[in-house]
Amino acid sequence: MHILILGAAGMVGRKLLDRLVRDCRLGGETITRFTLHDVVAPEAPAGTGVPVSLSASDFSLPGEAERLVAARPDVIVHLAAIVSGEAEADFDKGYRINLDGTRRLFDAVRAIGDGYRPRLVFTSSIAVFGAPMPDAIGDEYLTAPLTSYGTQKAIGELLLSDYTRRGIFDGVGIRLPTICVRPGKPNKAASGFFSGIIREPLAGQEAILPVSDGVRHWHASPRAAIGFLLHAATIDGARLGDRRNLTMPGVAVTVAEQIEALRRVAGDAVAARIRHQPDPVIERIVAGWPRGFDPRRAIELGFTAEPDFETIIRAHIEDELGGRIAA
């Protein structure tokens, strides 16, 4: 099995690759080749005995997507995107990468033809929903985004469904919760503070909270995100029918509940490292985001996430901090 990962240098891409290298198999089939792509050069995985092709380019440029799929990968995992805050700040770049790049990728698969029909996993976002919204959004709720990023992802979902209907590929779109706690340095995502108020205090650093602690949001860990991707790559498409885009399970908590979970896991001194500093731009963006979901269809189809936010924090401590919390 040949697997192509776009966005392979990002946090989720690296963790997905590590898991695939460790397992050596996907859906019962042996992995025989990886193609890894990002705008910056991905790192070759250690410990794999299969060929690995590395590629760095802007996949939205003419000819790049065609080059990436020319070897007819069996599974394509599309993680490449400009994140929410950057897509809102740079209108042209957001549409070029998140929409034009996605369309070029889909059309590159279409151009091969000749019976080629890979499984294509598209990472969408809960940003496809917009206010006004119920406290728990069900499977039938309309997508009406209030940000450019959400709009770009919603269009990608429609394209994925239509190209799948036309038999061009076998697509599965997964709307990821905010992935928390993200390791490493902060990125330009408007949601980055959700991880920052946990990650930085656990590492002994101050964290800035730019919104009210009453903000409620939907979260899943990096561990859960990898599980979502693996399940999406292997699920029987017949079980999905024509509805190819799914909201993933997660945990709905307020910022105050996040902080209280941090206090229970790591103590008062760690929680005290969070400082409230309002940011009107972030507050405006977050105000239009969903607060919670009823993802019963995804759960029925076998997707799973953490039961509570404490479990998410403990997963970060185990996976990224070696089980230790900074004094």
Residues belonging to the active site: 149
Q: Taking Cα atoms as reference points, which of 96, 92, 85 lies closest to residue 125?
A: 85
Residue recorded with tokens 């998410």: 312
The answer to whether 119 and 5 are in contact (CB under 8 A) is no
Alpha-carbon distance 151 to 144, whole Å? Answer: 8
Length of the chain: 327
Alpha-carbon distance 56 to 299, whole Å? Answer: 36
Strands (E), the chain: 2-6, 25-26, 29-30, 33-38, 52-56, 75-78, 119-125, 170-176, 178-179, 207-209, 216-220, 245-247, 251-254, 274-276
Assign residue 115 a region: left if phi > 0, alpha if psi is -120 to 50, beta otherwise?
left
The answer to whether 175 and 248 are in contact (CB under 8 A) is yes
What Å distances lie between residue 89 and 86, 97, 102, 116, CA to CA? 5, 14, 20, 38
Alpha-carbon distance 215 to 254, whole Å? Answer: 5
Q: Taking Cα atoms as reference points, which of 199, 180, 129 lies closest to residue 305?
A: 180
The answer to whether 306 and 253 are in contact (CB under 8 A) is no
